[in-house]
Chains A and B, each alone.
Chain A
Amino acid sequence: MNRLNLLNTGLVLALASAGCATAAPPPDLVSARMSYNKAQHGDAAKINPADLYTAQKAIESAEQSFAKNGDTRETRDLAYVADRRAQIAESRAHATQATQRQQDTLSGMQADQTMQVKDTSAQLGRANQKLALQGQAMQNQTQQLEAERVAREAAEKRAAQAAADLAKFASVKQEARGMVITLSGGVLFTSAKSDLLPSAQVKLNSVAEALTQQDPDSKIVVEGHTDSQGGESYNQDLSQRRAQAVRDYLVSRGIAADRVTSQGFGYSRSIADNKSAEGRANNRRVEIVVQPKTTPTN
């Protein structure tokens, strides 16, 4: 191809110089030579060889006419056409190139977009996965909260029930030394005995239930009290044994042994007149004191 072009250029130059020998080339031929030269060394040679060949043939005809006949009308017409043919070859080459670049740009854009969609899909996948995990965690949390709520409600119900049960046979008071549950001695024991009555056990179950609702760190003291009938040491001993019986029963019902102690007071802490039967009945009692937790001082 290059050799052919070189040959052609040589031919054109030879013809041109032949023309020059006789007369100056017409302006149309000068233009045609310039246009062809531009096309030949431009993009047309690579992109559009077919049109460049047509232009080559046209300029060869013009040069031959000029060499043979000089600056004739025919020479000018042929040069005029050759000039256009060279320009057409170059213009079409440029158009092809522009279209190629357009296609490349569009393809690149499409590739970018495809990649973008792929990336976005991957991101979406990861986000969905995360969301699903979060949803699962949230569901677990909700279930846990619901279980806790049900448990709390049940505990509150039990506590309320225990308190209600307790109120039937015991008095519950808040005092400076803590919450005091007072059970009448007659409810728990037969006279002068320290064995718990079967009915007492049911009642103490309610007490134990109520105690489990309290702060597990609080200390519990079971206090035995008697009336003044009988000797002091006898009553001291009886009150101690009764307090111990209640304490042991409570421990058997699930109160931690190290939380609960017992103490007998005999009739030293009477709360009513021992002269009347009613007063004595009130004095025969077991008090369960739930001590508020002592906050450690700094």
Chain B
Amino acid sequence: MKTLSVTILATLLLALGCAGNYPAPTQAMADVQSADRSANELGAQNNPKAQLHLKLAEDQLKQAKTAMENDDNRAAERLLTRAKADAELAIALTREDQARVEEAKAVNQADAQRATNVAQGAVR
């Protein structure tokens, strides 16, 4: 009985020790929060392709916070790694769309200018 108690205590201490020793991923948390802010500033929440990844990033960020509150730093870290990849993908997809919009604008502008030139008697 006594031996059993000691074994349980030792196991508990070991488990607690492990959890307590794993450092809190504060830098990773800050990185993901920063990426999330950037994505929102770029308008990822309004971009059909990017909004799914923004949501995944934010959900996992929330879960990571909860995990950290429960001292499960390991889980928090892996959630943040996933969240960071999603947030960065949301940013990339939004920027890609914006670049395409700018390209289309330039093409329209060039067409309009050509039409104006022709209307004004351009030879070319």
Bind each other: yes
Question: Which of chain A's residues have a CB closer than 8 A to the CB of B119?
Answer: none
Closest to B101 in A: A98
Q: Could you tell me the dominant secondary structure of chain B's interface residues?
A: helix
B99 near A: Cβ within 8 Å? Answer: yes
Interface size on A, residues (CB 8 A): 27
Cβ A73 vs Cβ B100 within 8 A = no
B13 near A: Cβ within 8 Å? Answer: no
A105-122 interface bits toward B, Cβ cutoff 8 Å, 1 = contact, 0 = none? 110110011011001000
Interface size on B, residues (CB 8 A): 28
CA distance A102 to B101 in the complex (A): 9
CA distance A113 to B120 in the complex (A): 13
CA distance A16 to B98 in the complex (A): 36
Looking at the complex, which one of B81, B92, B99 makes contact with A98 (CB distance below 8 Å)? B99
Cβ B117 vs Cβ A112 within 8 A = yes
A-B CB pair tally, cutoff 8 Å? 83
Segment at the interface with A among B1-9, B17-25, B63-71, B82-90? B82-90
A101 near B: Cβ within 8 Å? Answer: yes
From residue 41 to 64 of chain A, which have CB atoms closer than 8 A to chain B?
Answer: none
CA distance A73 to B82 in the complex (A): 12
B78 near A: Cβ within 8 Å? Answer: yes
Which residues of B approach A to under 8 Å, CB–CB?
53, 78, 81-82, 85-86, 88-89, 92-93, 95-96, 98-100, 102-103, 105-107, 109-110, 113-114, 117, 122-124
A-B pairs with beta carbons under 8 Å apart, 27 shown: A77-B78, A77-B81, A81-B81, A81-B82, A84-B53, A87-B89, A88-B88, A88-B89, A88-B92, A92-B92, A95-B98, A95-B100, A96-B99, A99-B102, A101-B106, A102-B99, A102-B102, A102-B106, A105-B107, A105-B109, A106-B106, A108-B110, A112-B124, A115-B124, A116-B117, A116-B122, A119-B123
Which residues of A approach B to under 8 Å, CB–CB?
73-74, 77, 80-81, 84-85, 87-88, 91-92, 94-96, 98-99, 101-102, 105-106, 108-109, 112-113, 115-116, 119
